[in-house]
Structure 1
């Protein structure tokens, strides 16, 4: 199934959903595949400084892993193409208007936005304004 590329169609069907879980970003300077298997992260990225994992706050607490901030996840249920132009800019600009930071992960089917936990409801309403 091919994702949508047309910006107006994407915005009209953005359908944001707020995940109930709280997430944290944590880093591991030394790559350890056992950590990845044990923690089962929702996201992972290899940087030159180490591996960044996105895990639930509870996983971090249970595993005694340091983190700085706590985020909520808003997933856009519209099937956006990885080649679509302007969707990230549109919701990033809307969130910036409201002084809400956004950490974006584009996956194959959907875009996922991590926003500060305390601003999650405000962020959800802001994204809905795009429809």
Structure 2
């Protein structure tokens, strides 16, 4: 088993300077599974899960949500941020939220070990991508 000790960038200016955002091609839904275990939810290939009390929230493609019998809307698009920010960095989530809020775009942010991921309504995805990309100029 390999354990990663790389901690990522911590300074917000450096993070924004290196910020790259990519709009992933698939639509996703957030589905709740109150009666399934994590191993049962895993059969639907979620790209993310979170245990909330007695329910599991899973981020699934629209197709997999349909297979699971979960609602297939609202549909969100995934914007992947390729900068490796530290889990201890301060301000990136706020900067993204503020940029999107200024445009009236709701966002759900998920942090992975290496990268952050932003889920926005499908119909506002391109606009959200541009708002996030504009943050790179603030890192100069």
Give the Cα–Cα distance (whole angstroms) in 2 for the partners of residues 116 and 33 of structure 1: 26
What's the C-alpha RMSD, in Å, of the aligned pairs?
1.2
Q: Secondary structure at the match of 1:121?
A: helix
SS in 2 for 1:30: coil
Alignment check: 8 A CA contact 2:32 2:55 kept:
yes
1:45 and 2:50 aligned: yes
Q: What is the deviation of 1:34?
A: 4.5
1:117 aligns with one of 105, 122, 125 = 122
In structure 2, C-alpha distance between the alignment counterparts of 1:110 and 1:129, rounded to whole Å: 18
Q: Describe the superposition over 1:83-127 as per-residue Cα deviations: whole angstroms up to 9, x where unpaired.
A: 000000001000000000010101100000000000000000000
Alignment: residue pair count: 131
Look up the SS of the partner of 2:28 in the other structure. strand
Structure 2, unaligned runs of 5 or more: 1-5
C-alpha distance in structure 1 between counterparts of 2:117 and 2:45, whole Å: 17
What is the CA distance between 1:33 and its match in structure 2?
A: 3.7
Q: Does 1:72 align with 2:77?
A: yes
For 1:18, the equivalent position in structure 2 comes to 23
Q: Distance in 2 between matches of 1:59 and 1:26?
A: 10
- Please report how far the alpha carbon of residue 67 of structure 1 lies from its aligned counterpart in structure 2 after TM superposition: 4.2
- What residue number does 2:87 align with? 82
What are the ranges of 5 or more consecutive residues in structure 1 without an aligned counterpart? none
Normalising by structure 2, report the TM-score.
0.88
